[in-house]
Amino acid sequence: MNKQTTHFGYESVPVHEKAERVKGVFDAVASRYDIMNDLMSGGLHRLWKRFTIEQAALHRGQRVLDLAGGTGDLARVFTEKVGQSGHVVLADINASMLQEGRRRLIDAGASGNLSIAQVNAEALPFESDSFDCVSIAFGLRNVTDKDAALRSIFRVLKPGAKLLILEFSKPAQAIRPIYDIYSFKILPRIGELVANDSQSYQYLAESIRMHPDQETLLAMMQDAGFERCRFHNLAMGIVALHVGYKI
């Protein structure tokens, strides 16, 4: 893979094309995104996100950036944690996902401590040292230049603040054969039946395999300047939560 190309699933594509192709995937699945998450994970994604919220350990008055926040399930809880004296920015590069998130947050009675921004994680348009916490759940694997995104996140965090990355990762060896069958045989079929879109879910399965494993992502965070980095394996490593601090 040279500097002019990158991965789109297992396919090699020009760097400038990836963002648009990822946009197409999430335009296709936005309205059924949460339903598909429930079906794909057996509802476990809700437990993984709850664990992420617990690890965030937010306090009243803090500022939070929820990157790749999509349909807003994390952002909604974050607004409750930081209260009216705090603020949460729900951010995503995809307008369709943000539109769905905005609708759901309004329906849920989201309060005035929330704003919505369409941003590219590789070049965040926020002031330096402006957030107490940044989260990105199931979104980093879709970013073209992950190192640039980590550096950009580091810049906007306040000293002492934390980054939380919840993402599919490399599962334990014992379950990989079953996991592969599910990912490449069953998952696209579910996508076809429920969302009338098997190709998008084929991409999602492939993008998971191309994402850095636990130790590699940990090293990338450290290279970007994060300290006290650690990860928690969930569901035997199918998912991992990485945590790092800007000291």
- pLDDT value at residue 3: 63
Assess if residue 29 is contained within a domain: yes
| pLDDT tier for residue 192 given thresholds of 50, 70 and 90 | confident
Tens of pLDDT along 201-240?
A: 788 888 889 999 999 999 999 999 999 999 999 999 999 9
Assess if residue 14 is contained within a domain: no
Q: 124 φ, ψ to 5°? A: -65, 135
Assess if residue 16 is contained within a domain: no
Distance (Å, rounded) from C-alpha 40 to C-alpha 231? Answer: 23
Assess if residue 192 is contained within a domain: yes
| In the block, residue with structure tokens 């990158």 | 6
- Helix pair angle (187-195, 15-29), 10° resolution: 60
Average pLDDT, the chain: 90
- Domain assignment of residue 149, given as a range: 25-245
Count of domains observed in the chain: 1
Distance (Å, rounded) from C-alpha 169 to C-alpha 53? Answer: 19
pLDDT above 90: residue 130 = yes
- pLDDT value at residue 104: 84
Paired with 134 in beta bridges are: 65, 163
- CATH at residue 107: 3.40.50.150
Neighbours of 61 (CB within 10 A): 13
Paired with 13 in beta bridges are: 6
Contact 143, 149 (CB under 8 A): yes
Percent of the chain scoring above 90 in pLDDT: 63
Contact 13, 204 (CB under 8 A): no
Output the six-digit token pair for 18. 């990836």
Contact 179, 166 (CB under 8 A): no
- Kindly report whether the global pTM for this prediction surpasses the value 0.75: yes
Distance (Å, rounded) from C-alpha 153 to C-alpha 218? Answer: 15
| In the block, residue with structure tokens 């190192």 | 147
**Which of 35-39, 118-122, 156-160, 223-227 shows the lowest per-residue confidence on average (mean pLDDT)?**
35-39
More confidently predicted of 233 and 35: 233
More confidently predicted of 150 and 13: 150
Q: What sign has the CA pseudo-torsion 180, 55, 157, 127?
A: positive
Assess if residue 1 is contained within a domain: no
Tens of pLDDT along 73-128?
A: 999 999 999 999 999 999 999 988 898 888 888 777 776 899 999 999 999 999 99
Assess if residue 101 is contained within a domain: yes
Percent of the chain scoring above 70 in pLDDT: 96
Assess if residue 138 is contained within a domain: yes
Assess if residue 218 is contained within a domain: yes
- pLDDT value at residue 2: 52
